[in-house]
C-alpha cells in the first residue's frame, strides 16, 4: 500500500511539474560539467530559465496568468555559464522514485545526452550582469519527453 501511495504521489507531482507548477524551469542548452551526489546534482551549463514572479495580491477578477489566484509574470533569462544545484526534496523518504528519475537523467546528461528540464521549487536565484549566475534549491531533473 505504501509503495502504491508513493507511486501515485510521484505521478501527481511529476504531472503538476510538467504543467509549470515549479517556480523556475531550466532548460539546459549545453552542459559543461555534471556532478552527481546522493542528495544533490550540480550542473554547470549554458541554459535558458523561465522564472515565475508574483506581481500582485489575490484577485479573483484578474483574467491573466495566475498562481494560486495571484497575478504573475513569467520571465525568461539566459545564461552562458551558470551553476545549477538541485537539492533532493525533503523529507528524504518522500518521492524516492522521482529522485531516482533525476539521478538517471543526470547520468544521461553526463554522457552528453539531451534531458528535459530542471523544475525548481522556491529556489535561490543569483543574477549577475542580467544573466543567471546560479540557482540553488529543491527540485527535480526531468528526462526528455518522448
Give tens-digit pLDDT for 62-110: 888 888 888 888 999 999 999 999 999 887 666 778 899 999 999 999 9
Cα dist. 93→13, 64, 85, 90, 98 in Å?
A: 15, 37, 20, 7, 11
Neighbours of 142 (CB within 10 A): 20
Q: 36 with 43: CB under 8 angstroms?
A: no
Please report whether residue 16 resides in a domain.
yes
Res. 16 pLDDT band, cuts 50 70 90: very low
- The pLDDT of residue 63 is 83
Element (H, E) at 38: none
Name the burial class of residue 41, with classes exposed (0-12), middle (13-18) and buried (19+) by CB atoms within 10 angstroms of its CB. buried
Domain hosting 135: range is 2-141
Average pLDDT value for residue range 38-54: 95
Please report whether residue 134 resides in a domain.
yes
Please report whether residue 102 resides in a domain.
yes
- The pLDDT of residue 84 is 98
Of residues 10 and 90, more confidently modeled: 90
- The per-residue b/e assignment along 104-125, b for 16 or more CB within 10 angstroms, e otherwise, is ebbebbeeeeebbbbbbbebeb
How many independent structural domains does the chain possess?
Answer: 1
Helix (H, G, I), strand (E, B) or coil at 6: helix
The alpha carbon torsion through 103, 104, 109, 115 (nearest 10 deg) reads -110
Mean pLDDT over the full length of the chain: 84
Please report whether residue 69 resides in a domain.
yes
Please report whether residue 24 resides in a domain.
yes
Please report whether residue 122 resides in a domain.
yes
Q: 78 with 49: CB under 8 angstroms?
A: yes
Q: 86 with 135: CB under 8 angstroms?
A: no
Res. 146 pLDDT band, cuts 50 70 90: low
- The pLDDT of residue 49 is 96
Please report whether residue 146 resides in a domain.
no
Res. 3 pLDDT band, cuts 50 70 90: very low
Amino acid at each position: 500500500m505504501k509503495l502504491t501511495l508513493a507511486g501515485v504521489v510521484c505521478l501527481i507531482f511529476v504531472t503538476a511539474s510538467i504543467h509549470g507548477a515549479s517556480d523556475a524551469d531550466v532548460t539546459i542548452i549545453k552542459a559543461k560539467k555534471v556532478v552527481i551526489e546522493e542528495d544533490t546534482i550540480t550542473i554547470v551549463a549554458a541554459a535558458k530559465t523561465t522564472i515565475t514572479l508574483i506581481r500582485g495580491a489575490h484577485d479573483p477578477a484578474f483574467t491573466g496568468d495566475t498562481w494560486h489566484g495571484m497575478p504573475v509574470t513569467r520571465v525568461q533569462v539566459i545564461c552562458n555559464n551558470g551553476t545549477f544545484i538541485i537539492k533532493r526534496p525533503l523529507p528524504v523518504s518522500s518521492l524516492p522514485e522521482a529522485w531516482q528519475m533525476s539521478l538517471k537523467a543526470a547520468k544521461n546528461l553526463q554522457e552528453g545526452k539531451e534531458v528535459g528540464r530542471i523544475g525548481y521549487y522556491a529556489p535561490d536565484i543569483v543574477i549577475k550582469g542580467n544573466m543567471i549566475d546560479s540557482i540553488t534549491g529543491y527540485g527535480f531533473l526531468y528526462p526528455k519527453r518522448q
